[in-house]
Amino acid sequence: MASTTEKKEKTAPAAYVSAEPYKPKNKVRIVTAASLFDGHDAAINIMRRIIQATGCEVIHLGHDRSVEEVVNTAIQEDAQ
């Protein structure tokens, strides 16, 4: 007796399928920074490039930044 195996393809529910890619109404701004001796420099740079490739504006403050500096910049730049 031969058995047949049917493969079912997984598809997203209709509610999640869109013909057009999502485009935000307003420009998205993100602030990135690293604390002193954080060790995540490469990861932050990779994520910054990925985020920029999606069309977001990234404001990178660099290294050795305090929480206060990051928060003040986020407020000043109207980051989301």
- pLDDT tens digits for range 63-79: 889 999 999 999 999 98
CA 25 to each of CA 29, 30, 53: distance values in angstroms, whole numbers, following the listed order:
12, 16, 17
Verdict on whether the full-model pTM lies above 0.75 = no
Count of domains for the chain: 1
- Please give the Cα distance from 70 to 21 (Å, whole number): 30
pLDDT confidence band for 57 (50 / 70 / 90): very high
44 inside domain: yes
58 inside domain: yes
Structure tokens at 69: 């500096």
Which H helix or E strand runs over 71? helix 67-76
Q: What is the pLDDT of residue 34?
A: 86
28 inside domain: no
75 inside domain: yes
* Domain hosting residue 54, numbered range: 34-80
Higher pLDDT, 44 or 37: 44
76 inside domain: yes
22 inside domain: no
Structure tokens at 54: 């999606």
42 inside domain: yes
pLDDT (mean) for 42-68? 90
